[in-house]
Structure 1
């Protein structure tokens, strides 16, 4: 990644002058997209991309009442308090090492990982990857505060409790998930149907989570990312945009695991699997889409460059995750790259 030009940090500073959402509930994907663009050799397009994307964004919401160590539980899950939450985490990361703040707050926020369709944890995953791999410059520390603040404000628990403890692989567990009765609804409306969906809790609990083996948890999380990317290739046409998060959310957790105490790894996999499974049940298409045609030979760098030209933030994010999957295999993963091309086809270009 280009860590010397300052483009990523300049972009984050630009984005921190806008709120985390716009048009009522749409997530500001800017910090996630620009990190992916810079990482994959597209730093030269970042500011041009932002010039267009910023026209959609809205101002930072007005503060309401400060979040403190004494009242944070009352403020948890209140989207009106997002600016208060950002200010609170900004103070915390100024006073303590960012890893300590993350380790303290990750288990507090994890039960609400499904909030805002998992966008907050995805935002955390992007910045943690940068902090771990590319340096701890001030705009990146500030971005972690913004991402955690967004998560705290949008903290939302699922209406059904699941503890995965079965024997199924991620691919098997995804394939076994039943679909909710009323699809194509807003995320919260769809999630509310889960308790009444026959077989859903049992299917969600079928995933094998190796609770006593953190290294195996990491590998299982990587397998979940791979399975979700492949599932998108075949079933993402149920909802091209929202199905992206079934893969990018577990990948965000996978990226964050190295910064967390190992005793938090298994519960993190369980939580993100449950959120990914919920979104899958609400938005996955019932029938497989026909095989991808006309894409030609797939080369990772070319696929990402094509996604960068496409311009949509969800396409950029899914391609970033698909490249992670492809890079973990010795000879690449054509199905993962094909999923990225599928997203380019399913999601309208951002012109």
Structure 2
């Protein structure tokens, strides 16, 4: 993890910006700069951020402070993003961050599908930083921003019918039924997802839940190498959302690991249903390229989703994961 102070500088710079732009698009910068720092490239953080800066908007105005007495009425209201970030800032200033996370994780988990799963991904990056190093002010504040964004965009998914799945995560993803109507954005498509294959439903042991979640992240990352052309940006989240949950598990009570697995599976399966292509392509082995060289290619490309998928691919490791990262470089528009 970065010990140069660069990440903290970048986070302080970013906390003057809101979690979204244009009322619907996520600010990816906090996640991307954390990935750069975590992968040993802190010197690239501000250069990357200088290019991305035109996509940032000012921090939004507050409406009314969120309190312990009325938080339920503010949950899922995107107009209250500043109020929620302020609430979590106060909570984390007064209590250990792990205690705040443990209290709010089960409240927020059912709504991890709001904001195209970006809020939980942002939280996952923030938690990784806190677990890896010192709990500095900017890093704690980043967790507050992530949790606040999640609370503001909280969006549950209910009424999904269980359908036949498979034992392995990869086969279960293959069993996902694509939605018929593909028009509209994430929220519109999410409303058309009516079923999810059964997978890991019988899991009750926390350690097995962690093992299954690791399997899911690997399968979803591998699948991008063969299915990423269905939608090069949105299908990234089928892997990065469950990986954010996996990264957060060590900071959570073990009793929360099983429900975390179930929510992560639903998210990955739903994204697959919304964006999977009609047919896969063969994945291309990366040859002699090293993981470090793949990350350099992602950094040179610059797109925030490419950087984040590559970050997850390096967590997974292996040839097909590296092939997935290279496929994202090939399919996506570079950051300019």
| Structures share fold, TM-score greater than 0.5 | yes
Which residue of 2 is the match for residue 249 of structure 1?
A: 241
Can you give the 5+ residue segments of structure 1 that lack an aligned partner in the other structure?
327-332
Contact 2:165–2:172 (8 Å) recurs in 1: no
Contact 1:42–1:308 (8 Å) recurs in 2: no
Contact 1:165–1:209 (8 Å) recurs in 2: no
Alignment match of 2:291 (pick from 300, 305, 327): 300
| Local SS of the residue matching 1:13 | helix
Q: Take 1:232 and 1:183, find their aligned partners in 2: how far apart are those partners?
A: 19
* Aligned counterparts, 1:94-105, within 5 A: 94-105=93-104
Which residue of 1 is the match for residue 23 of structure 2?
A: 24
Alignment match of 1:343 (pick from 315, 325, 328): 328
Q: Alpha-carbon deviation of 1:159?
A: 4.2
Give the TM-score normalised by the residue count of structure 2: 0.97
State whether structure 2 residue 63 is matched by structure 1 residue 64.
yes
| Local SS of the residue matching 1:233 | helix
Which residue of 1 is the match for residue 226 of structure 2?
A: 234
| Local SS of the residue matching 1:19 | coil
How many equivalent residue pairs? Answer: 336
Which residue of 1 is the match for residue 267 of structure 2?
A: 275
* Aligned counterparts, 1:251-266, within 5 A: 251-266=243-258
| Local SS of the residue matching 1:194 | coil
Give the TM-score normalised by the residue count of structure 1: 0.93
Q: Alpha-carbon deviation of 1:208?
A: 1.6
* Aligned counterparts, 1:1-351, within 5 A: 1-3=1-3, 5-161=4-160, 168-195=167-194, 200-201=195-196, 203=197, 206-209=198-201, 211-292=203-284, 296-326=287-317, 333-351=318-336
Q: CA RMSD in A?
A: 1.5
Q: Take 2:19 and 2:162, find their aligned partners in 1: how far apart are those partners?
A: 31
Structure-2 change in CA distance of 1:6 and 1:164 (3 Å): farther
Contact 2:119–2:146 (8 Å) recurs in 1: yes
Can you give the 5+ residue segments of structure 2 that lack an aligned partner in the other structure?
none
